[in-house]
């Protein structure tokens, strides 16, 4: 079922990179994606995505994921999708981002 103004909430969604806490988060900091940098800062391991129940259904997890993958791609980082949302939901729905995912094959060619 579609609602008339469903896009309004997501249009206003601003995702902020909180470099100090290694998170991408909504401005109110209630929804976030947590990561760790490994391999001398060359690999972003996305470990957790959280959206409170009051904000679910707005596409925030996807917005957070896109922000993280855009950041990784812009900074020549590979991504390890440890978070089950990323590996089981986001990547299957967004296969174009699989090119950013860390591969052992790439590591062996170094």
pLDDT averaged over every residue in the chain: 88
pLDDT(28) > 50 = yes
- CATH number where 23 lies: 3.40.630.30
Domain hosting 88: range is 14-103
Is there a domain that residue 1 lies in?
no
Answer whether 41's CB lies under 8 Å from 76's CB.
no
Answer whether 83's CB lies under 8 Å from 101's CB.
no
pLDDT given for residue 12 in this prediction: 58
pLDDT given for residue 10 in this prediction: 44
Is there a domain that residue 86 lies in?
yes
pLDDT(9) > 70 = no
Global pTM reads 0.84
Residue 83 annotated to the active site? yes
Which letter does DSSP use for residue 76 in this model? T
Mean pLDDT (whole number) for 65-90: 98
pLDDT digits (tens, 9 = 90+) for 35-61: 999 999 999 999 999 999 999 999 999
Backbone angles phi and psi of 60, in degrees to 5:
-65, -40
Backbone angles phi and psi of 106, in degrees to 5:
-65, -40
Catalytically annotated residue among 68, 83, 86, 100: 83
Number of structural domains (the chain) is 1
């Amino acid at each position: 079922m579609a609602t008339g103004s469903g896009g309004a909430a997501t249009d206003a969604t601003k995702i902020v990179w909180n470099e100090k806490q290694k998170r991408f988060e909504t401005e109110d900091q209630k929804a976030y994606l947590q990561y760790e940098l490994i391999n001398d800062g060359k690999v972003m391991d996305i470990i957790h995505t959280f959206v409170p129940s009051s904000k679910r259904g707005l596409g925030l997890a996807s917005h957070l994921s896109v922000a993280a993958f855009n950041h990784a791609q812009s900074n020549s980082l590979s991504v390890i999708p440890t978070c089950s949302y990323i590996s089981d939901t986001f990547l299957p729905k967004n296969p174009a981002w699989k090119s950013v995912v860390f591969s052992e094959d790439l590591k062996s060619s170094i």
